[in-house]
Amino acid sequence: MLFYIVLSALVAALVYFHISIRYSRQGRMLSKIPGPFSFPIIGSLHLFTDRTQRGLWITIRMITDTWYPICKGWAMGLPLLSVRHPDDLEVILSSQKACYKEFPYKYLRSWLNDGLLTNKGDTYRARRRMLTPAFHFNMLRRYVDIMNEQSGRLMTELRANGKEFVLDVLPIYADVSLNIIIESAMGIDLDKTDKKVIKDYKEAIEDMGIVLTYRMLRPYILDWMMTPFTEIGRKQIHALKVLREFTDKIIKERRKYHEMLGGIKGYKEFTDSLENQDESESIYAIGHKKKLPMLDILLSAEKDGLLDEKGIKEEVDTFLLGGTDTTRMVMAYFTMLMAENKKCQDKARAEVCKVLERSGGKRGMTELSQMPYLEQCIKESMRLYPIASTIFRHTVDDIQLKNYTIPAGVVVICQIIDAHRDPNFWTEPEKFDPDRFLPENCRHRHPFAYLPFSAGPRNCIGQKFGWMEVKAVCSRLLYNFYLEPIDSTRDMQLIGDFVLRPADPFHTKFIRIDRE
């Protein structure tokens, strides 16, 4: 008898849960929007029979193509809305009513806490204003020297492979992107760091990507369930241990550096010095690198009471995640597409050589800005393969889209890759064509049809840094190598976690250019 009473109570609770959500004001408003069939309680999760990273990608693409340009779904009572039309993307990404981040970013808060990427929005504006000086022109100018040095090392390593060789392009840029962000953002030279520590750190980031996908498809798994008694719990616990130890080591080393110099400046004094800096001043002073890393901004803010130790760790973790996988994948896709498009490759290389010949080999910000065709090629690579292929937002109030009103409390999934390949806005969208980004071809394009760095108040704060890094590395690549295809992007299978990435290795042939 007790069993039937408990069972009846459970069924009644589930029925109440279903009715209270689906027939609430929110549920009634969402019912007007098309989408796949949703069962009670589980919602649309029945569509995700393949719960791998690849399976998730395939299912989402099927849903967004079937219900164009907008569709709704449910997952264990969580309302989801997928949008891909530039008009709707503009409203969502520009609105203060959709500035908050909840699902799936909450699954990263065990690592990033309230860093810029995962910050719900309560302290986001203040934190972003505080970090903006890290990307001041005078800071970026200093970073170019680091980018050139590290990309030069990479080319030396690649050239040592011989006259002709074939490599998987995905791991090639992992070290250079990590070295650049660590040295420029944190003031630490990774060449002096144990290689196993670096290897473990990169593997830990990959493991957290697996954890993210796993939990996205299982929203019923709560934080307290991520214990050592489950495989996924053990994976997260180990990854977090490695990531935290790496961050602590970086911060400790930078603190020690400033203690040796007598302490760091306060925040205002530090940022004022950037404004008044002599543009001719180099990163090199008396033969030594004069570093002004982003981490110093955080430490100076701590000195003035604007940030605590926890806040420093949050932003260091966020900078490292945002500055490693993102740029290395842009470089990898650029390499693949240049190999497949020889005419574009040759034209970009000729431009790079012309600029370097004119500058006497100098590779500063001015020289990088004089490579418009290279820039077009990178932009087209990022159109076809946007690193942030999907962006999530959480509505805190009703928002009026083109054809529907979206209620508060909805997770909006902005399908950037679908907007980038929408034939209504891009002629032959699957074709690689850098001329799409000629000024005359951009003039009348919808401003939200191309969003490689997101847009609106929560766009990528480090986009200028990332853009400069990619141009520095890619210009050196074309100067040093001819590229020929081995694998084809047409056959490439994609997956998404932190970034859009190929599911399998992708090989390209490198032919060394020997110059006199």
- Distance between CA atoms of 213 and 222, rounded to whole angstroms? 14
CB 472 within 8 Å of CB 148 = yes
Helix (H), strand (E), coil (C) string for 94-118: HCHHHCECCCCHHHHHHHHCCCCCC
The overall longest dimension of the chain from CA atoms, in Å, is 91
- Distance between CA atoms of 456 and 91, rounded to whole angstroms? 9
- Whether 460 has a binding-site annotation, put simply, is yes
- Distance between CA atoms of 348 and 370, rounded to whole angstroms? 12
Nearest Cα to 81, choosing from 44, 124, 56, 130?
A: 44
> Tokens 């970009």 identify what position?
348
CB 469 within 8 Å of CB 177 = yes
DSSP string across 308-360 = -HHHHHHHHHHHHHHHHHHHHHHHHHHHHHHHH-HHHHHHHHHHHHHHHHHHT
DSSP-derived secondary structure letter, 221: -
Q: 3-state DSSP call for residue 451?
A: coil
Nearest Cα to 412, choosing from 188, 116, 94, 196?
A: 94
> Tokens 């159109």 identify what position?
383
Hey, what are 207's tokens? 């493991």
CB 471 within 8 Å of CB 368 = yes
| 375: enclosing H helix or E strand | helix 372-384
Cis-peptide, bond into residue 434, ω within 30° of zero: no
| Number of residues that make up the chain | 516
Beta bridge partners of 393: 412
- Distance between CA atoms of 256 and 294, rounded to whole angstroms? 16
Please enumerate, by residue number, every residue annotated as part of a binding site for heme.
460
Binding-site residue set = 460
